[in-house]
Homo-oligomer: A and B are copies of this chain.
Amino acid sequence: MEKTSRDPAMTDVARLAGVSHQTVSRVLNNHPNVREQTRLRVQAAIKELDYRPNRAARALVTGKTQLIGVVAQNSTLYGPASLLSAFEEAAGQAGFAVSVGRVKVLDRGSIAAAVERHRDQRVAGIVVIAPTSSAADALADVPAGVPLVTVDGDPDRPTPLVTVDQARGAFEATMHLLKAGHETVWHVSGPADWFDAAGRVEGWRQALDTASAEVPPVVAADWSAASGYRAGQMLARMPEVTAVFCSNDHLALGVLRAMSERGRSVPRDVSVVGFDDVPEAAYFIPPLTTVRPDFAAVARETLGLLLEQVSDGETTRPQRTIAPMLVSRESVAPPPK
Q: Which residues of A contact B (CB under 8 A)?
A: 4, 6, 52, 54-57, 59-60, 63, 65, 67, 74-76, 78, 81-82, 85, 88-89, 92, 97-102, 117, 119-122, 145, 224-226, 229, 257, 260-261, 279-280, 283-285
Residues of B within 8 A of A121 (CB): 55, 97
Complexed CA–CA distance, A98 and B225 (Å): 32
Inter-chain contact A99/B102, CB cutoff 8 Å: no
Count of this chain's copies in the oligomeric assembly: 2
Inter-chain contact A88/B102, CB cutoff 8 Å: yes
Chain B residue with the shortest CB-CB distance to A313: B4
Inter-chain contact B225/A283, CB cutoff 8 Å: yes
A275 to chain B, nearest CB (A): 16
Inter-chain contact B279/A76, CB cutoff 8 Å: yes
Given A57-B60, A59-B56, are A102 and B97 also a contact pair (CB < 8 Å)?
no
Among candidates B63, B78, B229, B280, residue contacting A226 with C-beta atoms closer than 8 Å: B280
Among candidates B56, B76, B98, B257, residue contacting A82 with C-beta atoms closer than 8 Å: B76
A67 to chain B, nearest CB (A): 8
Given A60-B54, A76-B82, A100-B100, are A224 and B280 also a contact pair (CB < 8 Å)?
yes
Complexed CA–CA distance, A224 and B281 (Å): 11
Residues of B within 8 A of A4 (CB): 145
Among candidates B56, B75, B89, B119, residue contacting A60 with C-beta atoms closer than 8 Å: B56
Complexed CA–CA distance, A287 and B59 (Å): 53
Inter-chain contact A85/B92, CB cutoff 8 Å: no
Inter-chain contact B76/A85, CB cutoff 8 Å: yes
Given A81-B76, A82-B76, A85-B76, are A52 and B120 also a contact pair (CB < 8 Å)?
yes
Complexed CA–CA distance, A257 and B59 (Å): 56
Given A82-B76, A85-B74, A89-B74, are A55 and B100 also a contact pair (CB < 8 Å)?
no
